[in-house]
Amino acid sequence: MPIINKAHILDTKKGFPLVLIHGFLGSNDLWKYQIKAFRKNFRVIAIELPGYGKNYKLKPLQSISAFTNYVLQILKQLKIKEFYLIGHSMGGMIAQEIAIKNKNLKKVVLHATGPQGEMPERFETLKVSRQKLKKNGIKKQGHFIASTWFVKGSKHQNFKICKNSYEKVKLKTADYSMLAMQKWDGRKNLKKIKTPTLITWGDKDKSYGRPQVMKLKKNIKKSKLKVFKNCAHNVHLEKVNDFNRSVMSFLNY
């Protein structure tokens, strides 16, 4: 059975395709402000990964390669050829792989991400996060992780969007995703990315430090970097209008 017959996919139908891929513990809900803004100019296709959002019942995947193939298969079934792409965090790892594998990708936004799944500057190692997840459960550990995504932590007005998303994720899905990131390293393939690329990053990001972002900028030939000051991992939920304008300017250039 085709994936699109089993999975939930948001598709606004009209315009040039713009594909959105959320990150770890996320869902399409975290793109709510981008979907509202970008659907005026593009055909927005927001893909919830297996185990996340409305696809929480789907079998979770254990590698970035498997996530990448999942997204590419959906695009094939939707008969999408040329498209733009935004990938956030873990979704940015998937976006890097897609940029290498699919020559019909016209522009890509790598948002709050880096070329190493085992993030050297992360607030804690993925091994520790996995241990805490198994000990504390998804609600407690999810709350801790998501609170690092905002400068104001869980007090930010949009934190509840993240809370609603991570509480739907099963422990097995979260653990498999962290395992997928642990196993992934895209550094050696960065020079293979020929697609025009916008790298977006908040200077208070506790998941990806500046060295990771600069590796993207240095090794992706057709790239430019936009730094958002006093923002953490979820710039698109902290400075919504600034983020949307920057992305729109890049896509329309």
Alpha helices, DSSP H, located in the chain: 32-38, 64-77, 90-101, 126-136, 138-147, 159-166, 171-183, 210-219, 235-238, 240-252
Residue 145: both structure tokens together: 């992780």
The whole-angstrom distance between residue 116's C-alpha and the CA centroid of its chain comes to 14
What is the structure's pLDDT at 1? 42
What is the structure's pLDDT at 6? 73
Residue 4 has pLDDT above 70, yes or no: no
Residue 122 to residue 211: CA distance in whole angstroms = 12
**Per-domain boundaries in the chain:** 3-252
CATH class for the region spanning 3-252: alpha beta
The residues with which 107 forms a beta bridge, in sequence order, are 84
pLDDT in tens, 75-93: 999 999 999 999 999 999 9
Band (253; pLDDT cuts 50, 70, 90) = confident
Residue 243 has pLDDT above 50, yes or no: yes
Spatial CB neighbours of 53, under 8 Å, sequence gap ≥ 6: 8, 22, 26, 27, 28, 29, 165, 168
pLDDT in tens, 32-41: 999 999 999 9
Band (3; pLDDT cuts 50, 70, 90) = low
pLDDT in tens, 94-136: 999 999 999 999 999 999 999 999 999 999 999 999 999 999 9
What is the structure's pLDDT at 27? 98
pLDDT in tens, 132-174: 999 999 999 999 999 999 999 999 999 999 999 999 999 999 9
Residue 5 has pLDDT above 90, yes or no: no
Query: What's the chain's average pLDDT?
Result: 96
Residue 202 has pLDDT above 50, yes or no: yes
In the predicted model, what is the mean pLDDT of residues 218-223?
A: 97
User: What percentage of residues in the chain have a pLDDT greater than 70?
Assistant: 98
pTM here? 0.96
